[in-house]
Amino acid sequence: MIKKIFFTIMCCLCFYCFAAGGQVKEQTEITGEMMTLKENENAVIFTGGAKVVRGDKTIKADRMEYKKTTGLINAYGNVKFFLNNKDGKVNAFAQNAVYNVDNYTGKLWGGKPLIEYNVKDSTEVIKLYADTFYLENALETARAESNVEIISSSGTIISDNALIDKKSKTLYMHKDIKKPQVTAFREDKTAVFEADEIYMLYEDKTVTMKNNVKGKITIESDNLEDLKIKGLEE
C-alpha cells in the first residue's frame, strides 16, 4: 500500500545513523515539498526541492528516493552536491546521482557532470568534467570516466579518465585509448604535451608527465630570457 502525504509547508524526515561502533551519532535530514511513503518497499520519495543534509555534506535535487534499509539515495534532476570542510569546498553538479549516506559512496551522471574544487586560501577553482563520476568518501575521492576535461586558470587537461584525491590534492590520469594531453598557457607561451601518465598537484599548479612524453612549446615573442625547460622521462 502506498501512502501519500501532501504538505503546504516543507516536510522533514530525520534518520539517525551510527559509526565507530555506535560511539558517534550523525543525523541525516531529508526535506521536500511533498513526501510519499512506500511501505512495501521500505522507501520514501521526496519531490519539490528535495534536500539531504548530513554533517558537512548537502545534496539537492528535483526528486529523491531514500531506501531506509540500504541507506541509498537516488536523486533525479538538477542534482547539486556540496561539501564544505576545513580543507576547502567541493561542489558537484549532474542530472542524476546515486549516493549512500552510510558509506559515502556514489555515482554522478547525465547533463555533463561537473566537479569543482575550490583551492584552500585561494580564489582558484579547478573544474572537472566527465561523462561519469564515481565517488568514495563523499567528494574526497572521485574517479572520472570518459571525456574527462580538467580546466584551471593556467591550462587544460583532456583524458579518458582521472582519479581525484582531495586529501593529497592530486589528479592522476593515464593512457586508456588515448594519451592524456596538457595544454598550458603562460604570458606569451603555449605548451602542449602528452604522456602515458600525468600527475597534477592542483594547489601547487604542478604537472608531472611520465613515459612516452611528447610535446611542443609555442612562443609568440622573441624574448627567450625567461624560458626554462626541464624534462624528465622515466
**Contact call for residues 40 and 58 (beta carbons, < 8 A):** no
Burial of 20 (0-12, 13-18, 19+ CB in 10 A): exposed
How confident is the model at residue 222, as a pLDDT?
Answer: 54
Q: In which residue are the cell numbers 531506509 written?
A: 68
Nearest to 109 by CA among 91, 92, 127, 95: 95
How confident is the model at residue 75, as a pLDDT?
Answer: 95
CB-based contacts of 219, cutoff 8 Å, min separation 6: 188, 189, 227
3-state DSSP helix/strand/coil % of the chain, to nearest 5: 0, 70, 30
How confident is the model at residue 23, as a pLDDT?
Answer: 41
Strand partners, 198: 173, 209
How confident is the model at residue 121, as a pLDDT?
Answer: 67
**Rounded mean pLDDT for each run of 10 residues along the chain, 234 residues in total:** 36 41 62 83 86 89 90 94 80 95 92 86 84 90 94 90 88 94 83 93 83 85 48 43
198-210 in b/e burial notation, b at 16+ Cβ within 10 A? bebebbeeebebe
126 CB neighbour count, 10 Å cutoff? 21
**Contact call for residues 51 and 60 (beta carbons, < 8 A):** yes
How confident is the model at residue 26, as a pLDDT?
Answer: 65
How confident is the model at residue 198, as a pLDDT?
Answer: 93
How confident is the model at residue 220, as a pLDDT?
Answer: 66
CA 75 to chain centre: 15
How confident is the model at residue 63, as a pLDDT?
Answer: 94
